[in-house]
Amino acid sequence: MPTNSSGKPPNVLCQSDFSDITLPALNPVPGMISASEQRFLFHMTRDFCADRGAVVEVGTWLGKSTTALAAGLAARNARQKLHCYDRYCWKAFHSEIADLDLRPGDDFQPAFERFLAPYRDRMRVTKTDLSEIVWKGGPIELLVLDAPKKASTLRNTLEIFGPALIPGITKIVFQDYLYFPSYELAACLARLPSLDRTTVVLDGMSVAFDVVAPVANIDSDDGLWRPESWTAHEIHIAWRQILEPLEPSARVLLAAGLPWHLYDAGHVAEAVKLMHDTAWVPSQHEQFARLAKSRIYTDYRPLFQAVGLTSAWDHELRARWRAGRRWLSQLFTSRSRSQRAA
């Protein structure tokens, strides 16, 4: 059987927007996931889960994803509990998405619990940082992750929950897998032999994996967890395997992960050339333009500049530099005039 770079046999990938799944009437909750992702999560707890372990979610925010998971459990009258973890600490940008009376630093667990009130008896909620989680709840049937976005936090998450993940049973959903600034998820998972990518949620950012072997000894391949140390060759092999099987609409979302990865691994000229030479589609340009207004811009300035994007900050710097040059030349001219007069 042919294998890919991690030695895994290629699998059949389901790519769907799950429009055949009808959601029941759900409490409207502000959130960061799409309608197709809500349908997928509901489908997972109603139709895939079968009380073979716990359902665990890390990164609930106000509970848009949690509501879908809980509704699926309720629809099946499941016995299994939904364990929710989040640090429930309000950030300034959260107010751009949800108009609640909360300020940066506030505890938003009470707001989360109000939104989830109809399902309260099905849930166990823990306010904690991901790194502090101690899992003692036995086997996990479904693990939904929307907090780890980097190699280090992904590794930490798998160390915490690894022993409870059951090969042949557990599924793991990675929200933001297709969001290219979180490319470290896709890169590391491509090299992890115990997980197999099986579902891509179209019109969303989520991708699900099956656990196919014990998630143990994840430390044995140390390079795996340091994607910034990969050679350009290793990066290209991984990204071919990541991108090629994806439907075009999903590939468009994740494709810039390759130049981002090359850049972080120090292959700067290649990353810049790739950004410059690629025929990005309008939706990708729009995403780059949005990101150029955020803090990400300063970390990846040459990549943004390669697609013709400068930020307000660059304009400000350039204006200050020009003003400084004008001031110096005026100073110089007035000095030489006064020297000549003397």
Ligand X SMILES: C[S@@+](CC[C@H](N)C(=O)[O-])C[C@H]1O[C@@H](n2cnc3c(N)ncnc32)[C@H](O)[C@@H]1O
Kind plus residue range of the DSSP H or E element containing 197: strand 195-201
Which positions from 19 through 38 interact with ligand X, judged by CB under 6 A? 31-33
Query: In the stretch 153-182, what mask flags binding to ligand X with x, by CB under 6 A?
Result: ----------------------x-------
Which positions from 257 through 316 interact with ligand X, judged by CB under 6 A? none
Please answer whether residues 235 and 3 qualify as being in contact, where contact means their C-beta atoms are separated by less than 8 angstroms.
no
**Of 107, 129, 228, 299, which lies in the binding site for ligand X, with binding defined by CB under 6 A?**
129
Closer residue to ligand X (CB): 61 or 183: 61
CA angle centred on 129, ends 210 and 95, rounded to 5°: 100
Output the smallest distance, CB 199 to ligand X, in A. Answer: 17
Closer residue to ligand X (CB): 177 or 304: 177
Please answer whether residues 47 and 14 qualify as being in contact, where contact means their C-beta atoms are separated by less than 8 angstroms.
no
The reply on whether position 51 binds ligand X by CB under 6 A is no
Distances 270 to 259, 263, 280 between C-alpha atoms, Å: 8, 8, 16
Closer residue to ligand X (CB): 150 or 276: 150
Please answer whether residues 175 and 206 qualify as being in contact, where contact means their C-beta atoms are separated by less than 8 angstroms.
yes
Beginning with the edge strand found earlier in the chain, give each strand of the sheet holding 171-174 in spatial order: 14-16, 195-201, 207-211, 171-174, 140-145, 54-58, 82-86, 123-127
The reply on whether position 130 binds ligand X by CB under 6 A is yes
**Of 18, 40, 42, 61, which lies in the binding site for ligand X, with binding defined by CB under 6 A?**
61
* Dihedrals phi, psi of 60, to nearest 5 degrees: -85, -25
Output the smallest distance, CB 90 to ligand X, in A. Answer: 8
Stretch that binds ligand X, among 53-61, 76-84, 194-202, 294-302 (CB under 6 A): 53-61
Output the smallest distance, CB 132 to ligand X, in A. Answer: 8
Query: In the stretch 73-112, what mask flags binding to ligand X with x, by CB under 6 A?
Result: -------------xx-------------------------
Please answer whether residues 112 and 82 qualify as being in contact, where contact means their C-beta atoms are separated by less than 8 angstroms.
no
Size of the site for ligand X (CB under 6 A): 15
CA dist., res. 207 & res. 264, Å (int): 23
CA dist., res. 25 & res. 120, Å (int): 17
Please answer whether residues 42 and 64 qualify as being in contact, where contact means their C-beta atoms are separated by less than 8 angstroms.
no
Output the smallest distance, CB 333 to ligand X, in A. Answer: 56
- The residues binding ligand X (CB under 6 A) are 31-33, 59-61, 64-65, 86-87, 129-130, 146-147, 175
